[in-house]
Amino acid sequence: MAEQALVFDIKRGSSEDGPGIRTTVFFKGCPLVCVWCQNPEGINQEQELDLNGNEVGFWITLEELLYRVKQDRPFYDSSGGGITLSGGEPARQLVFIHHFLKALKADGIHTAIETCGLFNYERFKEMVLPHLDLIYYDLKLFDDFQSRRHTGCSNKIILENFSCLISEAKIPVIPRIPLIPGITDTEENLSSIAHFLRTHGIEDCTLMPYNPMWQDKLKQLGKTATYSRNSFLSPDEENSSIKHFNKAQ
């Protein structure tokens, strides 16, 4: 049993990571290296130091994490909330999250996960899926070359795992597309993902507007960005992305 997990944040009172009031646990380590990563401090699977010499990431035991997230149990119960696992990629610490989710479900707490989709499906299906109520599944790029170029990894397993979950999961699997200007928000990419979703009988998808705040986080880690966009999406850009996605419907 993995008795400890490496996390980089525990966010209480969240209303953005699932239904109701939630606590979101951010697990450190991700197989992708997206050039626009919103949480660059979550990519490295080891502790690291920022420019001020502060440790990024901390180890926490299963007992301590359960104690901390259960402090807001009254808010979960009154709002229909619960716990969301995010990152990084939570499935990188599969054994720990298996025990964590199992304990939460045994206590009747709603559970959700935000995933990039790059994991061993059979192990995920056996160890994690039975203890989840909701999955947020990121679909970033449909073209494999573009996926390798901008995330550092092929999307083949990501698309295959999504197809398997849609076929086998008995819980909601909600696809999400981060709208990254010039990368994921192109007509070709959005229409391709929309067509892929439609082949699975899915008409809706969450489009997540670009947030440039990640660049400050990356600088604090002493790293240089290979992609830069300093402004949020304009209303026209958001509307254009919606049209591109709907065009394939």
The pLDDT score that the predictor gives to residue 1 is 54
The candidate with the shortest Cα–Cα distance to 36, out of 114, 146, 138, 150, is 150
Q: pTM score, two decimals?
A: 0.97
As for how many domains the chain has, the answer is 1
CA dist., res. 142 & res. 140, Å (int): 7
The pLDDT score that the predictor gives to residue 247 is 84
Task: Give tens-digit pLDDT for 199-224.
Answer: 999 988 999 999 999 999 999 999 99
Q: Which amino acid is at 70?
A: K
Structural domain including 171 reads: 4-247
What tokens were used for 243? 């049209």
The Cβ-side half-sphere exposure at 20, using a 13 Å CA radius, reads 20
Task: Give tens-digit pLDDT for 74-122.
Answer: 999 999 999 999 999 999 999 999 999 999 999 999 999 999 999 999 9
The candidate with the shortest Cα–Cα distance to 22, out of 71, 75, 61, 59, is 75
CA dist., res. 221 & res. 216, Å (int): 9
Q: Is the pLDDT of residue 198 over 70?
A: yes
More confident residue, 203 or 40: 40
Task: Give tens-digit pLDDT for 121-172.
Answer: 999 999 999 999 999 999 999 999 999 999 999 999 999 999 999 999 999 9
> How many residues does the structure list for the chain?
249
Task: Give tens-digit pLDDT for 47-68.
Answer: 999 999 999 999 999 999 999 9
CA dist., res. 196 & res. 190, Å (int): 10
The CATH number given to whatever domain includes residue 206 is: 3.20.20.70
> Beta strand pairing status for 58-61 and 4-14?
antiparallel
Q: Is the pLDDT of residue 24 over 60?
A: yes
For residue 122, give every residue at least 6 positions away whose Cβ sits within 8 Å of its Cβ, in sequence order, or none. Answer: none
Buried b (16+ CB within 10 A) or exposed e, 51-89: eeeeebbeebebeebbeebeebeebbeeeebbbbbbbbb
> Beta strand pairing status for 173-179 and 110-115?
unpaired
